[in-house]
Amino acid sequence: MFAKPKQPPIKSLIAQGTRIQGDLLFAEGLRIDGEVVGNVRAAVDGASLLIVSEVASVQGSIEADHVIINGHVKGPVLARQLLELQPKARIEGDVSYRAIEMHQGATIEGQLRPMAGDGAEEKPTLKLAANHR
């Protein structure tokens, strides 16, 4: 009854040391450990998960349902459902999200733009991550 929705599987990996130039369109799950110069977008049909790891960088826009960032992004970010910013996340660009979870140490140089839910009066949720040392 209260189970979390199942995450889509990570089916693609851009490995550390790999550089992609050009736009990417993916389905389900993508993990970036390398460098992408171009826009990264998930298909709108079906759930999507994008992970930008601590060693990764993206120069371009990002769009997916669930976005987890712990690396460097230079461009706008759109998380259609949940945006998770890990401690080493650094975003240079505007951020749009339905729900956000931001850990201490993450930085954003841009505007935060909450997206309205299905109801016009619905407010986005904000989760504060606990400081675990």
pLDDT given at position 93: 98
Q: Give strand ranges (E) for the chain.
A: 10-14, 19-21, 24-26, 29-32, 35-37, 40-42, 49-52, 57-59, 62-69, 72-74, 77-85, 90-92, 95-102, 107-109, 112-114, 125-128
pLDDT tens series, the chain, 133 aa: 445 567 889 999 999 999 999 999 999 999 999 999 999 999 998 899 999 999 999 999 999 999 999 999 999 999 999 999 999 999 999 999 999 999 999 999 999 999 986 544 455 566 666 655 5
